[in-house]
Amino acid sequence: MAKPFDVSKFRKSITKSVPGLSSGFRDPDTWISTGNYTLNKLLSGDFNKGIPLGKVTVFAGESGAGKSFICSGNLVREAQKQGIFCVLIDSENALDEAWLKALDVDTSENALLKLNVAMIDEVAKVISEFMKDYKATYADKEEEDRPKVLFVIDSLGMMLTPTDVDQFTKGDMKGDLGRKPKALTALVRNCVNMFGDYNVGLVATNHTYASQDMFDPDDKISGGQGFIYASSIVVAMRKLKLKEDEDGNKISEVKGIRAACKVMKTRFAKPFESVQIKIPYETGMNPYSGLVEFFEAKEVLKKSGNSLEYTSKITGEVIKMFRKPWNLNKDNALDLIMKEWDDVEVDGNGQEELNIQEQDIIPEDEYIENE
């Protein structure tokens, strides 16, 4: 019988001879919450895990859909709680310190580096130089001794190419002839390769435009398809009017937005599931927003007259309340379900009810027109 092949010697020699090559698996071990339990679940399969370090995540949507709120606000705040240093690249010149502080983001130099960058090439240079220094300093250290870093680009859609600047200077605006999609694809591909072996991640926002295909009505993400292939998570967002008061009663006045988030791609859970997250102007996002509807669609919460009830799998206790106490997480009832619930047992139930795919299920007057 032939001896089994000893790959250890080959593994050591090949990793030494090819710079940048690593062997073995590198599953994400650091996750950052989006600030919403339902969105976390749809992205990662876990209520407490949102987006991973070591990967690229893109949130795309129309103006005012809540992209910056989630990425530059919630994700940065939750990353800082875990001791993760954040590099915030602002290409829209729209992120004010007062706004970030209102979302409990630490804007001190020790926790956040904010860069105002407009060119794709400049962003690439910033990330490349950072990773060069990072590898030189920490590549030979143990993983637990390496600092964790999150890059946030807000947004990809506003970044310029050298062609854009040159044509503007000359007063001859012809378009960039397809250079921007290629540059964005190259940027994301290089980030994927550089971040893979380190606890460094990238979150980016991008713009969408209305589809012209009547058979494929979903909004299209600008910048081409190349960077979408390289991203581990892609979320499409739309803004809807929030016409509710603090008690959940329907009113005619617009009190905020409902961010309709549809997971177009994820490598950690089922894609094409959706959630509507309520973001009131005065109070901000409730982390439990959308959770009752999610459990109801999965038939974990079941209707009983005018109430919703849940039967504990562990104790057999029946929790029965009206919808409002459920939304308010009375007696930590939603926390209990998240702790006990196993989606394997109800996989697929209510899938069609939860997805926000067809325009005809949302009244026309609920849409907020693009600015």
Whether residue 14 contacts residue 239, with contact meaning beta carbons closer than 8 Å, is answered with: no
Whether residue 118 contacts residue 160, with contact meaning beta carbons closer than 8 Å, is answered with: yes
Is pLDDT at 171 greater than 90 in this prediction? no
Residues 350, 352, 353, 355: what is their CA dihedral angle, to the nearest 10 degrees? 120
323-338 residue pLDDT tens: 999 999 999 999 999 9
Distance, CA of 308 to CA of 329 (rounded, Å):
13
113-160 residue pLDDT tens: 999 998 999 999 999 999 999 999 998 888 889 999 999 999 898 998
Q: What is the DSSP string of 289-309?
A: TTHHHHHHHTTSSEEETTEEE
Please count the CA atoms within 13 angstroms of the CA of 96 that sit on its side-chain side.
3
SS3 call for 262: strand
Contacts of residue 315, Cβ cutoff 8 Å, sequence gap at least 6: none
Whether residue 206 contacts residue 222, with contact meaning beta carbons closer than 8 Å, is answered with: yes
Whether residue 122 contacts residue 183, with contact meaning beta carbons closer than 8 Å, is answered with: no
Distance, CA of 371 to CA of 368 (rounded, Å):
9
Distance, CA of 119 to CA of 191 (rounded, Å):
16
DSSP annotation of 234: E
Is pLDDT at 218 greater than 70 in this prediction? yes
Taking phi first (over 0 means left), then psi (-120 to 50 degrees means alpha), and beta for anything else, what does residue 25 get? beta
Whether residue 199 contacts residue 146, with contact meaning beta carbons closer than 8 Å, is answered with: yes
pTM metric for this prediction? 0.86
Q: What is the pLDDT of residue 90?
A: 96
288-304 residue pLDDT tens: 999 999 999 999 999 99
